[in-house]
């Protein structure tokens, strides 16, 4: 009789532990970090198509957003999450002229772009500019984002700006494939 009680108790404890692990995992993977599968090449070579990344989603605060952060956005109109680089804040005047980025009249170096890739992409497409000239004033309460692969990116130039409430997280790490392991900043 004691063996049956002991076995039953062990099973109950096992089920409770298993449920605790499931609940804890669910909380970690929705409130702390979020696994994201990268679809498309709009951020190449920062992240590649089919990369799997873990993105920081804990405590994202609007006051902690920095220009050029890599962010994950809930693009509600297309029912998908997208990864882009944060370029413009509410009220900013964004201007590209001859592949040079001006924000509020100040020239910014885009050091995060891979210059060799930019040159190869322009040559393969037969174009002289990686980012076509444009000018845009970011509406109040909105943020302007661009993909790092400007020749192949649906971003704020075409799909519009996003509010802070659309942001899911920022930065992270590519974990798969293993040879792509890299911090996303």
Catalytic residues: 42, 84
Closest CA to 78 of 116, 112, 49, 40: 40
User: Does residue 57 contact residue 32 with C-beta atoms inside 8 Å?
Assistant: yes
Cβ contacts of 159 within 8 Å, gap of 6 or more: 75, 77, 78
Report in angstroms the alpha-carbon separations of 171 from 46, 48, 67, 119: 11, 15, 12, 26
How many other β-carbons are positioned within 10 Å of the β-carbon of residue 108? 14
Q: Report d(CA 26, CA 50) in Å as an integer.
A: 23
């Amino acid at each position: 009789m004691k063996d049956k009680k002991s076995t039953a108790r062990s099973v109950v404890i096992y089920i409770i532990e298993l449920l605790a692990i499931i609940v804890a995992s669910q909380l970690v993977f929705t409130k702390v970090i979020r696994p994201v599968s990268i679809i498309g090449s709009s951020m190449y070579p920062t992240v590649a198509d089919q990369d799997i990344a873990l993105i920081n989603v804990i405590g994202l605060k609007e006051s902690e957003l920095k220009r050029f952060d890599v962010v994950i956005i809930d693009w509600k109109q297309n029912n998908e999450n997208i990864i882009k680089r944060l370029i413009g804040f509410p009220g900013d005047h964004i201007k590209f002229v001859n592949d040079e980025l001006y924000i509020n009249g100040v020239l910014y170096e885009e050091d995060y772009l891979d210059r060799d890739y930019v040159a190869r992409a322009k040559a393969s497409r037969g174009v002289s500019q990686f980012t076509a000239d444009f000018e845009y004033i970011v509406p109040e309460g909105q943020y302007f984002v661009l993909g790092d692969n400007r020749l192949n990116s649906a971003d704020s130039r075409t799909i519009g700006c996003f509010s802070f409430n659309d942001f899911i997280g920022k930065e992270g790490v590519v974990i798969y494939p293993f040879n792509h392991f890299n911090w996303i900043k």
